[in-house]
């Protein structure tokens, strides 16, 4: 038994136009919770983050808070890169669906993914 599951996705070789499209980032954050059987607590928030002239050329960053935790996306269009997190207190997340979802949305050529079980020592009962 564990508290929840956390998937991290780093996508490479994506389509620059798709990665730089605020409406696509918004639609991912808006639609994915329902597709995963999760429930939004608020509308997604998205910001343009300017580059830092070091390794970050800038892109869109967004977050949606869900009852089960959160989903975040950070795009780097000039690098063809996206970094995303899906964290939920639900168990049994369909990782392959999530990976394929991001692959299609941004036309990613390669993915680096991680699956993390969170709260492996989570108490079975209230402590206080």
Helices (H) and strands (E) in the chain, counts: 3, 6
Catalytic residue among 69, 70, 72, 83: 69
As given in the structure block, the two tokens for residue 36 are 């995963």
Catalytic residue among 70, 72, 83, 89: 89
Is position 2 annotated as part of the catalytic site? no
Closest CA to 86 of 103, 64, 108: 64
Is residue 91 helix, strand or coil? coil
Catalytic residue among 42, 74, 83, 95: 74
Is position 95 annotated as part of the catalytic site? no
Q: How far apart are CA 65 and CA 71, in angstroms?
A: 7
Is position 69 annotated as part of the catalytic site? yes
Is residue 76 helix, strand or coil? strand
Q: Which residues are catalytic?
A: 69, 74, 89
């Amino acid at each position: 038994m564990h508290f929840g599951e956390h998937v991290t996705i780093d996508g490479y070789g994506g389509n620059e136009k798709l990665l730089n499209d605020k409406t696509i980032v918004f639609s991912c954050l808006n639609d994915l919770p329902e597709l995963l059987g999760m429930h939004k607590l608020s509308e997604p928030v998205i910001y343009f983050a300017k580059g830092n002239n070091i390794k970050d050329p800038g892109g869109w960053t967004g977050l949606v808070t869900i009852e089960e935790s959160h989903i975040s996306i950070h795009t780097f269009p000039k690098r063809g890169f996206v970094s995303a997190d899906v964290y939920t207190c639900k168990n049994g997340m369909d990782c392959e669906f999530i990976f394929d979802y991001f692959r299609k949305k941004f036309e990613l050529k390669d993915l680096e993914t991680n699956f993390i079980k969170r709260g492996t020592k989570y108490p079975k009962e209230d402590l206080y």
